[in-house]
Amino acid sequence: MATPARTPASTPLILPAETAADLMSVNPICIREDATVQEAVALLTDQGFSAAPVIDGAGQPVGVVSRSDLLIHDREKMAYQAAVPDYYAAEELSRAHGQKERGSSPGTGVDRTRVKEIMTPVVFSVAPDAPARKVVEEMLALKVHRLFVVGGGGVLVGVVSATDILKPLQ
């Protein structure tokens, strides 16, 4: 079997950033901790994000909600739903598909779970003046795809994602 030809070593990649502030996306789109799961699904889907920071009423980050958190919530919710019977009564078969029984309350089946109940309640963060090398080292050590950038007063000012680090290397 032939081995692939080796190419000469290319020029090493150099990250042209000195601090977290140089890398971060400013004013990240966040979701409130009291938002519903449906709002989180809509936000992540509409924006094409895999996760979003969760903030409290003061604008301070209190966690992150990810697609994984939503999938876990959905799986657990499904585990508690009533099993589908192996048989149906004649009156159940005569109802049109999706038609509610008389007397069922409106809103039945609506998930009222709040983001704060399903989010990952950990905030991995760095200061805006943290060296870029430290940002990369932290992301690798923590095995995360993003770090929050928190300024004075603990307010979220940005986020550094793996994409933010890779963009300037192209």
Mean pLDDT, residues 18-40 taken together: 94
- The dihedral sign for the CA sequence 37, 42, 45, 51: negative
Mean pLDDT, residues 111-127 taken together: 93
**What is the model's pLDDT at position 107?**
46
Is residue 96 over pLDDT 60? no
pLDDT class of 25 with cuts at 50, 70, 90:
very high
Is residue 151 over pLDDT 70? yes
**What is the model's pLDDT at position 11?**
79
Mean pLDDT, residues 143-165 taken together: 92
**What is the model's pLDDT at position 152?**
86
Q: What is the pLDDT of residues 34-71, one digit of tens each?
A: 999 999 999 999 999 999 999 998 888 999 999 999 99
* Residue 137 in tokens: 């080292």
Q: For residue 79, with 0-12 CB atoms within 10 Å meaning exposed, 13-18 middle and 19 or more buried, which class applies?
A: exposed
Cβ atoms of 136 and 165 within 8 Å: the answer is yes
Cβ atoms of 111 and 36 within 8 Å: the answer is yes
Cβ atoms of 29 and 21 within 8 Å: the answer is no
CATH of the structural domain 20-169, one choice from 3.10.580.10, 3.40.50.300, 3.40.50.150, 3.40.50.880: 3.10.580.10
Is residue 98 over pLDDT 60? no
C-alpha separations of 159 from 6, 30, 34, 38 in Å: 38, 10, 21, 23
Residue-range domain boundaries for the chain: 20-169
Mean pLDDT, residues 91-97 taken together: 57
Q: How far apart are CA 95 and CA 59, in angstroms?
A: 49
* Residue 136 in tokens: 């990369």
* Residue 130 in tokens: 């943290």
Q: Is 158 helix (H, G, I), strand (E, B) or coil?
A: strand
Element at 41 (helix H, strand E)? helix 37-47
pLDDT class of 141 with cuts at 50, 70, 90:
very high
| Between 100 and 39, residue with greater pLDDT | 39
Cβ atoms of 146 and 51 within 8 Å: the answer is yes
**What is the average pLDDT score of the chain?**
83
